[in-house]
Structure 1
Amino acid sequence: MLHTQRNIVCNANLLIRSLTKAKVVVRGLQLKHQYDAIVVGAGHNGLIAAAYLQKSGLDVCVLERRHVIGGAAVTEEIIPGFKFSRASYLLSLMRPQIMQDLELKKYGLKIYLRNPSSYTPLDKPGGLDGKAKSLLLGSNAKKNADQIAQFSKKDAKAFHEYESQLERIVSAIDPLLDNPSVSLPSVMGSSLRDKWSSIKPVGALVGSVKSMGSDLPAFYELMTAPAQKILDRWFESEPLKATLATDSVIGAMASPQHPGSGYVLLHHVMGELEGIKGAWAYVQGGMGGVSQAIANCAKDHGAAIFCDKPVSQILTRGSKAQGVVLVDGTEIKAKVVLSNATPKVTYLDLLPQNTLPKEEVDHLKQFDYISPVTKINVAVDRLPNFIADPNTSESDPMPHHQCTIHLNCEDSSLIHDAYLDAQQGKITSSPMIEMVIPSSLDPTISPKGSHVVLLFTQFTPYKLAGDAQWDDSNRNKYADIVFDTIERYAPGFKASVVGRDILTPPDLENTFGLTGGNIFHGTMSLDQLYMARPTPGLAGLRCPISGLYLCGSGNHPGGGVMGSPGRLAAKAVLGDFKALSK
């Protein structure tokens, strides 16, 4: 109850400060009645689209329903003095071309690279000699081998080849991330324009497949097989397999035992920062620093960005987008409209009924948004002290504090059991927890000596069994289970807590507009990827409504703070704009 009361007061104070800041952002800007392009939603993809379009000479307006920009890539001071990356919390997947084109470092983006990258403390000592207490992995191959050898000599030798194969596959499919997906309607279209627009995506697809070479069977297996099957073939030690298996279920209501979970694993190793493949980093000031740098670029070139401007409808005339209507009734016209909202919100909520063909509406209604994620943001007055690797100093972070800390991950069966609980609508007693402490590297986000702890937890159902609701009682019941789990590994953690912010799947939906609470704008399963994202008829960026583009993660290549959907949508708009302006 104390946490709840404290957070209510903090949120009220923050709202006042945030609204004041929002006014500063738009000071001097007057919302016009017409633009070349309107972007609905100031998430990172929407801002990227706006920046590219404005740089190319279009007059662009971004409309954000919340008091702050960033969508899920946002920083919020929920507890005074503590700046939380309230939803997304790490940077890796942002495409290097976008970083370069938008000069994000020039516009304020600063990052802290992490090494090591992964830490799994054990609840009880184990390993070959019964004395191993943890598994710490990073970029040093020799240190990784030594760590893994505590549990299996065979795995220590296999790990490097496993990583090398994933890196080769990622390099092969890299071009697919920077090009539109193949659009089946375009390929099958009768017009020369349709066929011409499909040439480059088809070429990228063929090129990626050819470059796979001898890794093509492994890629096919990753796309279709359970991650557990793949990991069992490579390794024998459970702490290693379970640690790697977490990447196969992040954001997915799936077990490592499910076919197709291998792709989610692959998706999370596609990143690159500072020229380092697979690197992950904290953003200075929190993830809102990414969105702010993109917004700075867009505004510097003349884009107008407005907060507290929720859109109620996309205006259409016939089969062409004409602009938007705000909740307050204001109409704003535009030649093109780009939506950073989910496919469900864009096509089923914002478009007038009967705008899309019934077949497409039926497909959209079947799009899977099921999410298992509850995000808990915590302010603490001292560093967690893990039994497996006790702190050597009260104030100085150790290497394992700087990386992703995996709890309840000593054995893959623990992950599967938590998934089964969620499938039954239960609040699991053994949640899968990924803990990060960004203040271990970034001193700007918490008071000196205190820290920001971000907990990405699974598996929590969107709907609880027996028609129970995610009210404060159940939110706190689940959070207490998570905190009790952490306490087993790091005694004293609960006593260090200053305050907490709990976001269940319905909270993620209501706060950030993430349908179903899904952080990827839709499940990243094989049937919802590439030419089928969000549906076969709506893939390839264009839809039956001329001048309307989906620029969010519900389009190819999917979720994560990657930016490709925004960039690809902007490129499609620029290719079409002359014709649309007639």
Structure 2
Amino acid sequence: FWTMSISDFLDEYFETDVIKANFALSGIIGTALGPMSPGTAYVLLHHYMGEVDGSVGAWGYARGGMGAVTKALAASFKASGGSIRTGAEVDHVLIRNGKAKGVVLAGGEEIYGKLVVSNADVKRTFLKLVEEKELPDIFLRRVRNFKIRGSSGKVNIALDSLPEFPALPKDSPVYRADMHFTDSIERMERAYDDWKAGRWSVDPFLDMVIPTTLDPTMAPPGKHFMSCFVQYAPPRIDGRDWTDADRGGFAESVIAQIAQYSPGFRDRIVHMEVRTPREIEAEVGLTEGNIFQGELTFDQLLFNRPVPGYAQYRSPVGGLYMCGSSTHPGGGVMGAPGRNAATEILRDLAKPTLHMSPAHDVI
């Protein structure tokens, strides 16, 4: 199973192309692999782990948008005595005698603490925030070889009204679910071929939701919001950086596909927010725009995530821990890497709870 492609795996259970294409989407989302690539069967399992309200494998909406999740986390953290500073870019980790003592901000301010915990990906943490001399050569080599490849983009669309799809009744419950138009695995594989050639997919795979059908608070009365997750979009175009013209072409490929199935869709567009891997990395610090902080391939899972010998959230630097999605079990809105990291940190501190004082005990 671990080395199977999602295409081969689904062939064992289904005959109809459109059904297989529907399930195959969870085998490629956020992954720089195609549905016929070995290892993508696990990616489907990864997306089906967990549950929502007792429904195993289900996904859910956060009322108010995904920002509501981070707001809830921040509120919980502050309630436990923590403090949060935004707009405070970290230049490097302050290390003395092999132990992390704090961080130095881009402006030169030094903040000290007993521990430093990094939610940045493994490459950003150890290749940009820690000096090479502080790390073993074999660890550095493995970090450099860790695969973090951007493969997806995002298009958020404000709509004047709910789009119409002739194939759906106006009151269809499908409007409240995730929608896509891909009707075969072969079509998805052709989209991946564009990525391999260093281009965005001309006929992309889209995973679309209209959360305002369930949560009207996300748009003014009568208006709607559509979120489109797009595969594939490479981190660089033909070996060069993305340009604004490239971004426009990427967005057009998305709108053109939707318009094929929803006449008049273009006329409903009020505003678009387009995010290629360039914007995703620049705005939220995800290397190459990879949403999982590293490929979910078997060589980078379990005890190999992020690298062999360091799968327990510790690092070669004393007092410097990892808690992001580059660690086990990987990406997704589940909080498991952070919870697991907290467990190991508490074990090292021999403290029974997360409450620590003063506020800068943990950075």
CA contact (8 A) 2:235 2:277 kept: yes
How far did residue 470 of structure 1 move?
1.7
2:187 to 392, 414, 426: 414
Query: What is residue 511 of structure 1 aligned with on the other side?
Result: 283
Shift of 1:578: 5.0
1:390 to partner: Cα distance: 4.2
Are positions 1:403 and 2:177 aligned together?
Answer: yes
Of 194, 216, 230, which residue of structure 2 is paired with 1:443?
216
User: Does structure 1 residue 261 correspond to structure 2 residue 261?
Assistant: no
2:316 is aligned with 1:537: no
Residue 240 of structure 1 is matched in structure 2 by: 19
SS in 1 for 2:317: coil
Aligned to 1:13: none
Counterpart residue identity of residue 356, structure 1: L
Deviation at 1:425, TM superposition (A): 1.1
The CA deviation string for residues 372-394 of structure 1, in whole angstroms up to 9 with x for no partner, is 101111101111111211425xx
1:507 deviation in Å?
Answer: 1.4
- Say if 2:134 is the partner of 1:355: yes
Correspondence 1:297-308 to 2 at 5 A: 297-308=76-87
**Residue equivalent to 2:226:** 453
2-side partners of 1:250 and 1:486: how far apart?
19
2:89 corresponds to which residue?
310
Cα displacement (A) at 1:473: 1.0
CA distance in 1, matches of 2:346, 2:241: 46
Which of 258, 278, 290 pairs up with 2:57? Answer: 278
Task: Indicate the SS of the match to 1:378.
Answer: strand
Does residue 526 (structure 1) correspond to residue 305 (structure 2)? The answer is no
Letter in 1 for 2:290: N
Q: In structure 2, what is the Cα distance between the partners aligned to 1:520 and 1:294?
A: 19
Distance in structure 1 (CA, Å) of the matches to 2:108 and 2:87: 14
Instruction: Assess if the C-alpha contact under 8 Å between 1:537 and 1:543 holds in 2.
Output: no
- CA–CA separation in structure 1 for the residues paired with 2:274 and 2:87: 23
Identity across aligned pairs (percent)?
A: 41
Report the CA distance shift for 1:469/1:325 in structure 2 as closer, same or farther (over 3 A).
closer
**Paired residue type of 1:518:** N
Counterpart of 1:509, as a letter, is E
Q: Secondary structure at the match of 1:354?
A: helix
2: CA distance between counterparts of 1:276 and 1:427? 35
- Conserved 8 A contact 2:157-2:226: yes
Q: Which residue of 1 aligns with 2:165?
A: 386
Provide the C-alpha distance between the structure 2 equivalents of 1:412 and 1:515, rounded to a whole number of angstroms: 28
Which residue of 200, 204, 218 corresponds with 1:431?
Answer: 204
Structure 1's 223 and 317: CA in aligned 2 closer, same or farther, altered over 3 A? same
Structure 1 distance, partners of 2:38, 2:80, is: 46
Q: Separation in 2 of the partners of 1:420 and 1:223?
A: 23
How far 1:353 moved relative to its partner? 2.4
TM-superposed deviation, 1:540: 1.3
Given that 1:252 and 1:524 are in contact with CA atoms closer than 8 Å, whether structure 2 keeps it comes out as: yes
Is this contact kept in 1: 2:117–2:320, CA < 8 A?
yes
Return the structure number with greater helix share: 1
Alignment counterpart, residue 6 of structure 2, candidates 227, 231, 234: 227
What is the deviation of 1:453?
Answer: 0.4
SS at match of 1:304: coil
Q: Distance in 2 between matches of 1:488 and 1:468?
A: 31
Give the conservation status (yes or no) of the 8 Å contact 2:200–2:233: yes
Code of the residue aligned with 2:148 in structure 1: it is: Y
SS in 2 for 1:382: coil
Residue pair 2:312, 2:344 contacting (<8 A) in 1 also: no
SS in 1 for 2:189: helix
Unmatched runs of 5 consecutive residues or more in structure 1: 1-221, 393-397
Q: Secondary structure at the match of 1:462?
A: coil
Q: Distance in 2 between matches of 1:284 and 1:506?
A: 28
SS at match of 1:404: coil
Instruction: Report deviation, 1:431.
Output: 0.4
Q: Match of 2:329, SS? A: coil
**Deviation for aligned residue 1:334:** 0.8
> Number of aligned pairs?
353
Deviations along 1:242-269, one digit per CA (max 9) or x if unpaired, are 1111110000011111111000010111
| SS at structure 1 position matched to 2:193 | helix
Partner of 2:320: 548
1:375 and 1:455 in contact (8 A); partners too:
yes
Q: Distance in 1 between matches of 2:86 and 2:200?
A: 36
Alignment-derived partner of residue 106 in structure 2: 327
Give, in whole Å, the separation in 2 of the partners of 1:488 and 1:245. 22
Q: Which moved more, 1:276-285 or 1:523-532?
A: 276-285
SS of the counterpart of 2:163?
A: coil
Query: Normalising by structure 2, what TM-score?
Result: 0.94
Q: Is residue 283–residue 290 contact of structure 1 (8 Å, CA) maintained in 2?
A: yes
Is the counterpart of residue 295 in structure 1 residue 74 in structure 2? yes
Structure 2: tracts of 5 or more residues without a match: 352-360
Q: Matched residue of 2:133: which SS?
A: coil
Q: Distance in 1 between matches of 2:232 and 2:131?
A: 35
Write the distance in 2 (CA, Å) between the matches of 1:517 and 1:469: 13
